[in-house]
A and B are shown apart, each in its own frame.
Chain A
Amino acid sequence: MKQEKPGWKSLPQGDVLGAGTAAQFKTGDWRSEKPIFYEDKCIQCLICWIVCPDSSVNIKDGKVTGFDYDHCKGCGICDHECPTKPGKRAITMEKERK
């Protein structure tokens, strides 16, 4: 179905939009790598949640539950900053296409 977009007369002036509209728009589809979450290895320090530049670390009841792949760009900062030891990594990066 063709969506009708507003013309210049009815469009709010000056490129003003509602807040938080990025949540409705999937911006993660060009990611080349993605973080994989291992709940059993996670120490729940929440550092990944703090450092994620795209608010793509999902939290429930104060605990990390995984990633929001609709918005994660695969930058790998969460993996880089995760303090878990080799062999017991809570986050690893994987190629989207192998």
Chain B
Amino acid sequence: MPVVAKTGNEAMAEAMRQINPDVVAAYPITPATEIVMIFAQFVADGLVDTEYVPVESEHSAISACVGAAAAGGRVMTGTSSQGLALMYEILPIASALRLPIVMSVVNRALSGPINIHCDHSDTMGGRDFGWIQLFSENAQEAYDNVLQAIRIAEDPQVELPAMATTDGFIISHGMEGVEVMEDQAVREYIGERKAKVSVLDVDNPVTLGALDLQDYYFEHKRQVAEAMKQAAPVIVKVGKEFGKKFGREYGLFEKYHLDDAEIAIVALGSTCGTAKVVIDELRSKGIKAGMLKIRVFRPFVAEEVVKALSKVPALAVLDRSDSYNAQGGPVFTEVRSALYDLANKPKIINYIYGLGGRDITVEDIHSVFADLQKVDKKAQVNYLGVRE
């Protein structure tokens, strides 16, 4: 299929056009605005059959999505930063009601201070709401992840909402070559949503979202926990099928020169592209550097991550957000916890970087690998690229 020049936002909007969802409810926010703006044009031009609901806030956007998904529709939205934060109240309702809404999230720093550029604080703030989270390295992965998110979210073993994320401006507004597949092939791949219940089915009426107190809430949450566990093999299956059909296979993560690595980083998002350049340079000098690029942060596939990292003596985890817990960023605490049961644990340190869109350069990542060669002298948690 032809490779065309597209920004991350254009790529995600194009995926939405091909998916042709029943309902899109959205509210604009930088840097995600274009996704739903371009999609609104598709609606106006009659290129999709979607019912487009222009609402007055992100809280209403996700609420409308919940209603439409409960009616059995295939439902999508997109947002960023404060917009995602305004949705936080509704996000765990979508997962508890097992509604496979798919959302494009363009990662942007949470205010305050107010900032419109990339970090992962918005998505990480929503990491414990029962949403599947897929991270993208570039516009191609953003496009591919949106398509796969539909299949993953709607899988009968899963039925959880999912977000496919890009990095604000870096991916969302950076133009790259993106291979866009044929509409027909995409539609065959994603199929139809087969909802188990619909609140609009008057012949089979149901109550959805009733008060759920001490006697049932816990069981329903336990179901969400199980569905998240079931999601991992489904993500692998969906990624494999995607590769078979379209030539780009996806797994839970990508190992880049990892198997024989002596020093490695763990990262997610666009930074992985920069890191690959650094790793190539180091490898050409005979330094055994590698990377684990985490694609799926929710579910966090601890067992597989440990398997991938167990033979690497020294690791640095790169977090593009801080937990402000005086212990390290969210990716670091997950990875470090996962490694606890290993008899021979790798040395592991954390770098918090890139907050509020602060550039992460080739030189920055070189400095991380240089630090890893004298890892015993480093603090457990380090801040990369901040002025002291």
Q: State whether these chains interact.
A: yes
The interface of chain A, by Cβ under 8 A from chain B, is: 5-8, 11, 13-21
Q: Which among B98, B196, B207, B227 has the greatest number of chain A C-beta atoms within 10 A?
A: B207
Among B11-19, B216-224, B312-320, the stretch that binds chain A is B216-224
Chain B residues whose C-beta falls within 8 Å of the C-beta of A8 in the assembled complex: 218-220, 222-223, 226
Contact B222 A18 (CB under 8 A): no
Most B CB within 10 A of own CB, among A16, A17, A20: A16
Q: Which of B96, B215, B219, B226 has the largest count of A CB atoms less than 10 A from its CB?
A: B219
- Nearest 3 pairs of A and B residues by beta carbon: A19-B205, A14-B98, A8-B219
Contact indicator B205/A20 (Cβ below 8 Å): yes
Chain B residues positioned under 8 Å from A21 (CB to CB): 207, 210
Residues facing A in B53-100 (CB within 8 A) are 96-99
- Given A14-B97, A15-B96, A21-B210, 13 other A-B residues pairs in contact with their CB atoms under 8 A: A8-B223, A13-B196, A14-B98, A14-B208, A14-B220, A14-B223, A15-B97, A15-B209, A17-B206, A17-B210, A18-B205, A18-B207, A20-B207
Task: Show 20 residue pairs from A and B whose CB-CB distance is below 8 angstroms, ordered by the A residue.
Answer: A5-B215, A5-B216, A8-B219, A8-B226, A11-B220, A13-B159, A13-B223, A13-B227, A14-B99, A14-B220, A15-B96, A15-B208, A15-B212, A15-B220, A16-B197, A16-B207, A16-B208, A17-B207, A18-B206, A19-B206
Q: How far is the CB of A24 from chain B (nearest CB, A)?
A: 12
Assembled-state Cα–Cα distance A92/B223 (Å): 48
Pick the contact of A14: B96, B215, B226 (CB < 8 A): B96
Residues of B within 8 A of A15 (CB): 96-97, 208-210, 212, 216, 220
Tell me the nearest residue of chain A to B218, going by C-beta.
Answer: A8
Among A13, A15, A20: residue with most chain B CB under 10 A? A15
**A16, B219: Cβ atoms under 8 Å?**
no
**List of A residues within 8 angstroms of B99 by Cβ:** 14
Residue of A nearest to B226 (CB): A8
Q: Report how far A61 CA is from B99 CA in the complex, Å.
A: 42
What CA separation (Å) do A11 and B220 show in the bound complex?
A: 8
Contact of B216 among A11, A18, A19, A20 (CB under 8 A): A11
The chain A residue with its CB closest to the CB of B212 is A15
Closest A residue, CB atoms, query B205: A19
A57 to B334 alpha-carbon distance, docked (Å)? 56
Residue of B nearest to A5 (CB): B215
A19–B199 alpha-carbon span in the complex (Å) = 10
User: Could you tell me the distance in whole angstroms from the C-beta of A29 to the nearest C-beta in chain B?
Assistant: 16
- Min distance, Cβ B199 to any Cβ of chain A, angstroms: 9
Contacts of A18 in B (CB 8 A): 205-207
CA separation between A5 and B98, bound complex, in Å? 21
CB neighbours (8 Å) of A20 from chain B are 205, 207
Task: Please indicate the chain A residues that have their CB under 8 angstroms from the CB of B209 in the complex.
Answer: 15
User: How far does the Cβ of B377 sit from chain A's closest Cβ, in whole Å?
Assistant: 48
Known: A5-B215, A11-B216. A16 touches B223 (CB 8 A): no
Nearest Cβ on chain B to A31's Cβ, whole angstroms? 18
Closest residue to B202 on the A side, CB-wise? A19
Chain A residue with the shortest CB-CB distance to B217: A15
The interface residues of chain A lying within 8 Å CB-to-CB of B223 are 8, 11, 13-14
How long is the Cα–Cα vector from A13 to B207 in the complex, in angstroms?
A: 12
Q: Complex Cα distance A7/B208, Å?
A: 19
Give the CA-CA distance A20 to B205 in the complex, in Å.
9
Q: Complex: how many Å from CA A18 to CA B205?
A: 7
**Which of chain B's residues has its CB closest to A19's CB?**
B205
Given A19-B205, A19-B207; A14-B219 close (CB under 8 Å): no
Give the complex CA separation of A26 and B246 in angstroms: 57
Complexed CA–CA distance, A6 and B98 (Å): 19
Q: Closest CB-CB distance, B375 to chain A, in whole Å? A: 43
In the docked arrangement, what's the CA distance between A20 and B220, Å? 21
- Distance in Å: Cβ of A34 to nearest Cβ of chain B: 23
CA distance A93 to B215 in the complex (A): 35
Q: For residue B247, give the distance in angstroms from its CB to the closest CB of chain A.
A: 35
- Residues of B near A13 (CB, < 8 A) are 98, 159, 196, 220, 223, 227
